[in-house]
Amino acid sequence: MIEQMIPYFIFLTALGSGLVSGLFFAFSTFIMKALDRLPVDHGIATMQSINRTVLNYSFFVVFIGTTLTTVLLIIYTLFHWDQSNVIYLLVGSVFYLLGSFLVTVVFNVPLNDALAKIDAKNEKSATVWKKYMVRWTAWNHVRTATSFLASASFILAL
């Protein structure tokens, strides 16, 4: 039964990682640049608002759902090395799991949590904001690339 469902899981995982890649791409290419052009207190307040707003059902279904299907696909690959598409499944799953999910949890979320504690109107917040922008955006580039590569790998697996 599970074997018949795998193509659907691959398809959903390709879509999920593609959606996540697009979201991260938007932040890497223009959202963070736009925030950096705002006065510091407005940039901080806006990013704080984004970080609160992103925690919603739709985002979690795609982000966590894709993470769960990558775990399923990794388990599947361990028992199906004889199939021609298994390397694409494994590569895509590892890219997403490590480069998107793990980087988010280990780097971006802690940066967001630290930013949430900042008073946007405090004069010292400008230094924190500049460091945040550089570090958060660098890790977001990693998430963008790995989510995109994961999506491409899943498409190749199909």
- Per-domain residue ranges of the chain: 2-157
pTM, entire model: 0.96
Query: pLDDT category, 2, cuts 50, 70, 90?
Result: confident
pLDDT, residue 10, reads 98
- pLDDT tens-digit map of 123-149: 899 999 999 999 999 999 999 999 999
Q: What is the mean pLDDT of the chain?
A: 97
| pLDDT at position 123 | 87
E-assigned strand segments in 20-134? none
pLDDT exceeds cutoff 90 at 1: no
Radius of gyration for the chain, computed over Cα atoms and rounded to the nearest angstrom: 18
Give residue 85's pLDDT.
93
> Which of the four pLDDT bands, split at 50, 70 and 90, describes residue 3?
confident
How do residues 22-66 score in pLDDT, each as one tens digit?
A: 999 999 999 999 999 999 999 999 999 999 999 999 999 999 999
**Mean pLDDT in residue range 100-121:** 97
Question: What is the pLDDT at residue 112?
Answer: 98
Half-sphere exposure of 138 (CA within 13 A, CB side): 8
Nearest of 105, 88, 102 to residue 150 by alpha carbon: 88
